[in-house]
């Protein structure tokens, strides 16, 4: 790692070596934004610390998708009220985009707020704060026609997040994201391919996750498509694995299904949020598909690639959801047999259509329905995972752990399952970031244990 200079001069100011502490809430896009922010701050002589008490700059990258995410941030921000005056405190992300001005007014310790479309200007804003200008909020939208960036990575691993589209035009009736992330805008295919080539060649990246709120809309504005992009990325030598998230079922094209049959670098995993199994609820959510269409898509994907693992998101207790409508979700879960689900109770978001609906459901009903969904899914998951036993999977080792004093390595399969394996006796190899074949020995609904089979080293073509 490069030595941090004692002091650098930027414009009219000296920037001594300083530390930034950052907390990120929400989705992978927000986590990647935080990575971009850290990369920009490096130019102002900041390095990251995980101890808030050591920090000269405290940053929150917020999420507004559910009440719980909001509450966590407000509580953590509240805890910073005693921090000494010379520490700069700022909030960015989705809450800041819509509430930035009010936050700065309400919380005396908050020096500035910045929205989701100005994160590449974080350097200028931090400069401004250190120049003595505090209590401002920047939440402007980038009005340029195109979306052009270069991916920033700071973590030194072979995995990278690559934004390919930002914003969302879908306006599902419950969702705040179109208000916090603005309209859809895609990067040009050629730019993304060059960016990934650069990451592979110069930064040793082997696995990319293409990011967007709705990646299946990718390229619509430029006459390009996700399937096309995946086909081009497949050709990059040294790139082993390609993931993408999140997909909206409405936009899954036959070409994309076909890509899963043809492209061997494409992960055997698709996160395809369904939200509900009831057609009437899906209509009220403005999701633009039916449960039959969704199940057909799942079947097509599995026919294209029998190893395909599908995960989803469910909202329990959408306004006025009847017991029958809830049972339709239960039926869909039984039919689709997901590998994993993210399920939450409905949370009204100010400014969205569904927040204005009169609603007869109580929190109790919502929680009971969520519990039923999770209990059923646990049973399904147990059976789905059991079928892995005895099979061999290639994993990318991402972590070293230990269990009862014994070394355990954690790896992730192409189908996105976390697998734990113990090295053979006397084997002291450092497997971190190796591609390793393992055989699954036992499973539960939430974990997979495996034994070591063979090591492919740090970089081999993904089979
Ligand atoms: N773009 C993705 C979802 C992004 S938001 C898609 O269209 O599927 C991530 C998840 O948060 C959603 O899939 C949904 O399940 C959940 N979510 C969004 N708004 C919510 C709300 N108001 N209450 C509860 N869950 C919500
Ligand atoms: Fe939200 Fe719907 Fe857009 Fe997903 S597609 S981000 S759920 S509005
Ligand atoms: Fe949350 Fe914003 Fe992502 S609301 S889920 S951080 S896009």
Distance 250 CA to ligand 2 centre (A): 11
φ/ψ of 134, rounded to 5, equals: -120, 175
pLDDT of residue 2: 63
Q: How many helices (H) and strands (E) does the chain have?
A: 12, 21
Distance 213 CA to ligand 2 centre (A): 7
Return the structure tokens found at 46. 């900041």
Nearby residues of 159 by Cβ (< 8 Å), 6 or more positions away:
205, 206, 207, 208, 209, 396, 398
Nearest residue (CA) to ligand 1, atom 19? 175
pLDDT of residue 387: 95
pLDDT tens string for the chain (463 positions)?
Answer: 567 899 999 999 999 999 999 999 999 999 999 999 999 999 999 999 999 999 999 999 999 999 998 999 999 999 998 888 889 999 999 999 999 999 999 999 999 999 999 999 999 999 999 999 999 999 999 999 899 999 999 888 999 999 999 999 999 999 999 999 999 999 999 999 999 999 999 999 999 999 999 999 999 989 999 999 999 999 999 999 999 999 999 989 999 999 999 999 999 999 999 999 999 999 999 999 999 999 999 999 999 999 999 999 999 999 999 999 999 999 999 999 999 999 999 999 999 999 999 999 999 999 999 999 999 999 999 999 999 999 999 999 999 988 778 889 999 999 999 999 998 888 999 999 999 999 999 999 999 999 999 999 987 444 3
pLDDT of residue 260: 97
Domains annotated on the chain, with CATH: 7-138 (3.40.50.2300), 159-385 (3.80.30.20), 392-455 (2.40.50)
Nearest residue (CA) to ligand 3, atom 7? 177
* Residue ranges with strand state E in 269-391: 269-271, 309-316, 340-345
Q: What is the pTM of this model?
A: 0.96
Question: 59: burial class by Cβ within 10 Å (0-12, 13-18, 19+)?
Answer: buried
Ligand 1 pocket: which residues have CB below 6 Å?
65-66, 174-175, 177, 213-214, 246, 248, 273, 275, 313, 315, 344, 346-347, 349
Distance 28 CA to ligand 3 centre (A): 8
Best residue among 313, 349, 361 to mutate for probing ligand 1, ranked by most atoms within 8 Å of CB: 313
Residue 370 near residue 317 (C-beta atoms within 8 A): yes
Cα gap 391→71, rounded to integer Å: 43
Residue 32, ligand 3, Cβ within 6 A: no
Nearest residue (CA) to ligand 1, atom 10? 313
């Amino acid at each position: 790692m490069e030595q941090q200079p004692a002091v650098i001069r930027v414009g009219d100011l000296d920037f001594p070596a300083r530390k930034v502490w950052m907390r990120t809430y929400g989705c992978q896009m927000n986590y990647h934004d935080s990575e971009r922010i850290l990369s920009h701050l490096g130019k102002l002589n900041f390095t990251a610390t995980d101890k808030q008490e050591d920090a000269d700059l405290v940053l929150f990258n917020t999420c507004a998708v559910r009440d719980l995410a909001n509450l966590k941030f407000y509580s953590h921000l509240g805890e910073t009220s005693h921090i000494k005056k010379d520490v700069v405190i700022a909030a960015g992300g989705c809450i800041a985009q819509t509430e930035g001005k009010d936050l700065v007014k309400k919380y005396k310790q908050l020096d500035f707020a910045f929205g989701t479309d100005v994160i590449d200007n974080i350097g200028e804003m931090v400069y401004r704060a250190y120049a003595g200008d505090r209590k401002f909020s920047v939440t402007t939208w980038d009005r340029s026609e195109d979306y052009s960036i270069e991916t920033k990575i700071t973590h030194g691993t072979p995995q990278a997040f690559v934004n390919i589209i930002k914003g969302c035009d879908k306006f599902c009736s419950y969702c705040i994201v179109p208000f916090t992330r603005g309209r859809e805008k895609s990067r040009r295919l050629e730019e993304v391919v060059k960016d990934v080539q650069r990451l592979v060649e110069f930064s040793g990246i082997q696995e990319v996750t293409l990011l967007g709120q709705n990646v299946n809309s990718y390229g619509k504005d430029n006459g390009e498509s996700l399937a096309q992009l995946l086909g081009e990325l497949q050709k990059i030598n040294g790139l082993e694995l390609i993931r993408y998230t999140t997909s909206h079922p409405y936009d899954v094209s036959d070409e994309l299904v076909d890509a899963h049959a043809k492209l061997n670098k494409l992960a055997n995993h698709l996160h395809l949020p369904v939200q509900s199994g009831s057609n009437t609820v899906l209509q009220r959510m403005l999701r633009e598909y039916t449960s039959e269409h969704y199940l057909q898509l799942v079947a097509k994907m599995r026919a294209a690639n029998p190893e395909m693992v599908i995960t989803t998101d469910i909202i329990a207790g959408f306004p006025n959801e009847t017991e029958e409508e809830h049972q339709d979700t239960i039926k869909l879960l039984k039919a689709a047999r997901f590998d994993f689900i993210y399920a939450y109770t409905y949370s009204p978001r100010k400014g969205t259509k569904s927040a204005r609906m009169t609603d007869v459901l109580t929190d109790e009903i919502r929680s009971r329905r969520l519990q039923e969904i999770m209990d059923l899914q646990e049973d399904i998951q147990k059976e789905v995972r059991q079928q892995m036993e005895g099979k061999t999977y290639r994993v990318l080792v991402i972590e070293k752990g230990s269990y009862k004093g014994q070394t355990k390595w954690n790896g992730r399969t192409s189908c996105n399952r976390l697998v734990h394996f113990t090295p053979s006796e006397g084997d002291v190899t450092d497997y971190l970031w190796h591609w390793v074949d393992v055989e699954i020995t036992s499973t539960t609904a939430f974990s997979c244990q495996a034994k070591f089979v063979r090591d492919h080293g740090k970089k081999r073509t993904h089979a």
